[in-house]
Structure 1
Amino acid sequence: MAQEIEIEFKNLLTETEYHTLYTQLEFATIEQVKQTNHYFETDDYKLRDKGAALRIRQKADTWTLTLKEPHPDGLLETHSTLSKETAMLWLENQLSAPSEINRQLEQLGISAADLRYIGALTTKRQEREYNHTLVVLDHSFYCGQSDYELELEARSKQHGEQVFEDILNTFHISKRATDNKIKRFFQAKLKSE
């Protein structure tokens, strides 16, 4: 098990803004990686109501279960690597959460037995180091739609905010309130039902 505090900044982009950053920040030479987030929730959306999220990220041949919870400095992420076989059982709603994830879920008042698979979001991602941060360009596909996003991960909130603002200002990109991927996925899923 691993835990970390994630400090990140996000901004949805237009297709034109995405291509501008792709060119100007020299992403052309960086390999694009495909990853799929498989999301889980209770029937009455207990995770969402607590500001938490649970996903399995499939990236190449790795399957990582991650529980994200609110934290004063960002998000507390609890990770556990799964075998492909275990991940496939999760996708068939035969969930057996590792003890560290179960512990965190219990602290939220949620039983793993109440969780179910609700769908997936696939992202084509490129990332690079930039001014002591990690800059990420994402093109995501879910519920019959797609979007473009700039993410920036930093070790400190102050430094991350400064670099993020500099990028937006330099490339004349409007700052937009941007929900995380799981919230965007849920909004699209609820609209399509």
Structure 2
Amino acid sequence: MPHLEKEYKNLLTREQYDALKEEFKSIFTKEITQTNQYYDCHQQLENNRSALRIRLIEGQSTGEITLKIPQSDCEVIEITEELPAEQLQWWIEEDIFLLPTSIKLALEEQGIHLSNISPTATLTTHRLEGKLNPGCLLVLDESHYSGQTDYEIEMEVEDLEKGREIFLEILNRHGIEPLKPISKIRRALRASEKN
């Protein structure tokens, strides 16, 4: 089922991440560690600014295959299929990828036909999340890939305009320069290409 995600993101220094973690510790209700394995076929997805991943969350019996298709700077359509984590783990280990029908159809609508899907990058994120208000989810991420670590604040919102005000106010209060980061997959890809 396609889902339109509206979000704001900003990279952080370790110090900024620690300050935000402290300030919002009372609202964080969820703490997870998740690993994303990204896939592509001859850079077709990368060239389309899209992403395809398998996500496994530590301690959970199901995982996800997700296709992300950007609609604007702050909006992304996500098509996600849940599958048993054991099955997805086996796919990763055996280098198998079977596209769910919903994702295959969405790709074909974009004019993308993937044949030899292969892994491109792996990224593990330690995530804290909690609601600032009913229409606003605050997320802090610490991500590890190819020997690198980075920090990011994310805010998923229902209303882009109201969300932007809240997001900029948080950044401003902490002296954080608003800079939309390149996506996690692009950061992970660049790092793996350097290695």
Deviation at 1:183, TM superposition (A): 1.1
Partner of 1:47: 45
* Alignment-derived partner of residue 25 in structure 1: 24
- Provide the C-alpha distance between the structure 1 equivalents of 2:62 and 2:28, rounded to a whole number of angstroms: 24
Q: Report 1:58-77 matches (<5 A).
A: 58-59=56-57, 60-72=60-72, 74-77=75-78
Give, in angstroms, the shift of residue 28 of structure 1: 8.4
Opposite residue 155 of structure 2, the aligned amino acid is L
Query: How many residues end up aligned between the 2 structures?
Result: 190
Shifted more, 82-91 versus 121-130: the winner is: 82-91
Q: Within the alignment, does 1:57 sit opposite 2:58 as a pair?
A: no
**Which SS does the other structure have where 1:120 is aligned?**
strand
Normalising to structure 2: TM-score of the pair? 0.90
Q: 1:152 maps to which residue? A: 155
Match of 1:82 in 2: 83
1:23-78 deviation digits (Å, cap 9, x = unpaired): 11225864521011111011x21001011000011113221000001224611110
Q: How far has the Cα of 1:19 moved from its partner?
A: 0.7
Q: Distance in 1 between matches of 2:130 and 2:27?
A: 11
* C-alpha contact 1:96 1:112 (8 A) present in aligned 2: no
CA distance in 1, matches of 2:85, 2:14: 34
Equivalent residues of 1:40, 1:117 under 8 A apart: yes
Task: Note the 1:79-158 alignment, pairs <5 A.
Answer: 79-91=80-92, 92-131=94-133, 132-158=135-161
Give, as a single letter, the amino acid of the residue that structure 2 aligns with 1:66: T
Q: Secondary structure of the equivalent of 1:88?
A: helix
Cα deviation, 1:93-114, whole Å, max 9, x if unaligned, reads: 3221111111112223333422
Q: Which position in structure 2 is the counterpart of 1:187? A: 190
* More deviation, 179-188/77-86: 77-86
Q: Which amino acid aligns with 1:76?
A: I
Give the Cα–Cα distance (whole angstroms) in 2 for the partners of residues 190 and 182 of structure 1. 12
TM-score, normalised via structure 1 length: 0.91
In structure 2, distance between residues paired with 1:166 and 1:28:
17
Q: CA deviation at 1:84?
A: 2.9
In structure 2, the residue matched to 1:164 is 167
Distance 1:101 1:166, change over 3 A: same
**Counterpart of 2:115 in 1: which secondary structure?**
helix
Return the letter of the residue paired with 1:55. R
Contact 1:22 1:28 (8 Å CA) reproduced: no
